[in-house]
Amino acid sequence: MKDSMGDSFRRGLQRLGSFFRKQPLDRELDAEMQSHLELAVEDGVKRGLSPEEARRQAMVRFGGVTQAKEQQREARGLPWLDILLQDLRYALRTLRRDPMFAVVAVLILGLGIGANVVVFSVVNTLLLRPLPFSDPSRLVWMEQSNAKGLSGGTYSVDAFDEYRAQNRTMEDVTGYMPFYGKDDDKLTGRGVAQPVSGVMVAGNFFQVLGVQPALGRLFTEKAGVRGAAPVVLLDNAYWRRQFNGDRSIVGQAITLNDRPVTVVGVLPESFDFGAVFDPGMKMDIFVPGVMDDMREWGNTMALIGRLKPGSTVAQAQAEWSAIGPRLYFRATHPEYGTGYTATITGLKEHVSGRLRRSLIVLWCAVGMILSA
C-alpha cells in the first residue's frame, strides 16, 4: 500500500516537473517518435513493401504523429494547466495588439477587484467578524420600541440611572450620546486648527464593552461629574496619524475647542466605534459626558447593557417590561410624561441585522460585475 502511494506521489512529481520542462521534453518526444516511425518503415520494407507504402502503413498504425504527440503530452503533463497558460498567452497577445483595449480592460479589472476588496472588508467587519469586545455575546442593545429618529430611540440620563439601579439581569449598563457630526470639534495649539470627530460617552462605556487601553487608562465615572478635570481618550488610528504614535502624549494636555484637556489613554487598534455603532463614521476622540449637564437635555443616551452570566435576552426583555413603565421621561420634569418601552437585542444582531440583506446583495452584485 505504501509502495503504491509512493509510486503515485513520484509520478505526480514527474508530471509536474515535466510541465515546467515542456520545450526540452517536446524535442525528446519528436526524436523518439521519429525513431519509432523509422523502425516501423524499415520493418515494412523488410516485409516487401515499397518505402512509400511502408511509411503510409506506419503512419496509420501510429494514428497520426500529431495525435500521438498530444496523447503523450496529456499522459505526462497537467492538461488543465497547459490549457490555462495557452489562454493566458492568447489574452496577452490580444492585449498587446490593442493597447487602448488593454488599458480599459486593466482599469475595469482593477475597479472590480478594488470594489470587491472594499465590500468584503465591510461585510467582514459587520457580518462575519465577531465584535472586538470581551465576551461580546453578553452585550445587548436597548432601544425604545417603534422608535422614530435618534431622539425616539434614546433615553434620558434619569432613566439610565434608574434602570442601572433597579435591574437584576444586567451586570452593568452604559451609553453614549449619538447626536454628533463629522469634524464637530477642533484641535488647536498645533499650528492650523484641525477638525476632529468626537463622541461623548458614559464614564463606564469602555469597561462595559470590555475594551482595554493600548496606552494609559480608561475613564472613570468621576470623569462625568460636573467640575471634574477635562480628559480625553484618543482613537488608535488618530493617535498615529495626528501625533505620530508618540507614547509620551499620555498625560499631556492638548487644546480641544480652545480649552486644555488631558490625554489619559489611547484605545487599542481593534476598537472601531464607527464599525459597530455608526458604519462609515470614523471617530478620533472620546470625551466623558457630564451627566448633570445632559440630565436637562431630554432623551440623549443610546444604551448598551452587559448581561450577567446566565442571564438571557428574553429575561432582560421581561424585566424591562416591569421596570420601564416606572421610569420617568425626566425625573425633574414628570409633566413630560412617564414610562419607557424597550426592545432588547444582542448587540451583534443589532449591528448586522440592519444592513445584512443590503450588504449581501451589494457583495453579490459586485462579484457578478467582476466575473462578467
pLDDT in tens, 282-313: 999 999 999 988 988 888 899 999 999 999 99
Q: Please name the residue ranges forming H helices in the chain.
A: 2-20, 22-46, 51-62, 65-76, 79-97, 99-123, 149-153, 157-166, 205-209, 236-243, 273-277, 291-294, 313-323, 347-353, 356-371
The predicted structure's pLDDT at residue 16: 47
The predicted structure's pLDDT at residue 356: 52
The predicted structure's pLDDT at residue 20: 46
Name the average pLDDT for the chain.
77
CA-CA distance, 351 to 143, in Å (whole number)? 13
pLDDT band for position 2 (cuts 50, 70, 90): very low
pLDDT band for position 325 (cuts 50, 70, 90): confident
The predicted structure's pLDDT at residue 203: 94
Ranges of each domain in the chain: 2-87, 136-350
37 pLDDT higher than 90? no
Q: What share of the chain in percent tops pLDDT 90?
A: 32
- How far is CA 298 from its chain centroid? 36
Tell me if 98 sits within 8 A of 310, measured CB to CB: no
What would the mean pLDDT of 256-283 be, rounded to a whole number? Answer: 90
Residue burial 267-297, b: 16+ Cβ < 10 Å; e: rest: beeebbbebbbeeeeebbbbbbbbbeebbee
90 pLDDT higher than 90? no
Q: Is the model more confident about 326 or about 151? A: 326
179 pLDDT higher than 70? yes
